[in-house]
Chains A and B, each alone.
Chain A
Amino acid sequence: MAISVDPPEVTREHLSKTGWTYTFLSDADAAVIRRYGLLHKGAGVDGKDIARPAELLIDPSGTVRWINLTGDLRVRARPEEVLRAFDKIASGKVPGA
């Protein structure tokens, strides 16, 4: 699932271009982004607050099991990295798994 401040119309257009099928959610006033501590103040168009990039793995109990906070816009978690993190946790190699 992906979250940004984009309105659903923008996301619909984006999905029709890319063909991606996972869920995209619209947090237009950035309330959820703020609640997650991931606000990038004034970085959007016209000084709008947007999300800084972040990726989280949430288990079925709703607990955060992995979070990636990049320090560089260009370098975000790739699908393989998320899967590797999941495999590690699922195989019990991480304390508390």
Chain B
Amino acid sequence: MDRKRNFFPLAGFLICLVGFLSYFVLFARFPVTRDVPWANWLLFAAGLALAGAGISRAFRRPETYRGRVLGPILGGLSVAVVGFFLFMTLVASRQLPGAPDAPKVGEKAPDFTLPDSQGRPVALHEIVGSGKPWVVLIFYRGYW
């Protein structure tokens, strides 16, 4: 039993894991890697290729390399991580309803009065007016 240790599946899995986490801690901060997460796709491709190579050599050259049990397990986990990322970024984050009734360009913005973070009422009609600056109005999901 002097078969070589087969680190490829573990290394591939770890690269996939880094590919997953790096989106949230790093790549999502920059527009160029956020909108289309190509940097993460590259990491996933490298990780899956490495895991695949490791599993392949474990089965093709079992006399030389170990990893016929752990290899497929780590390979499966790698695919699961990549699949979860793709689901989150390509499916889950796009589950937004349309907004056919949103104000159109050229229409008056509906007036409102709402409390600010100090509880003071703020009215749109008091903010707009000739000579006053433009308003950027952002609707966001909130932190609850």
Contact = CB atoms under 8 A, between A and B. Distances in A.
Interface stretch (B13-21, B75-83, B125-133): B125-133
Contact of B99 (A14, A35, A37, A66): A37
Given A52-B97, A71-B94, A96 B106 contact: yes
B interface, over-half SS: loop
Interface string A83-97: 000100000000010
A54 B136 CA distance: 11
Residue of A11, A51, A62 with most chain B CB atoms under a 10 A cut-off? A62
B93 A73 contact: yes
Given A8-B117, A10-B142, A64-B108, A74 B134 contact: no
B144 A60 contact: no
Contacts of B101: 37
Interface stretch (B27-35, B47-55, B56-64): B27-35
Interface residues of A, number: 59
Chain B interface residue bracket vs A = 35 or more
A2 B100 CA distance: 21
Contacts of B97: 39-41, 52
A51 B97 CA distance: 10
Nearest to A43: B141
Contact of A51 (B89, B104, B116, B139): B139
B106 to A, nearest CB: 6
Given A5-B142, A53-B141, A37 B114 contact: no
Contact of A73 (B96, B116, B122, B144): B96
Given A23-B122, A53-B140, 5 more contacts: A37-B103, A60-B134, A65-B106, A71-B96, A73-B94
Interface of B: 28, 31, 34-35, 89, 93-94, 96-112, 114-119, 122, 124-125, 127-144
5 contacts: A5-B144, A26-B116, A37-B99, A53-B140, A63-B106
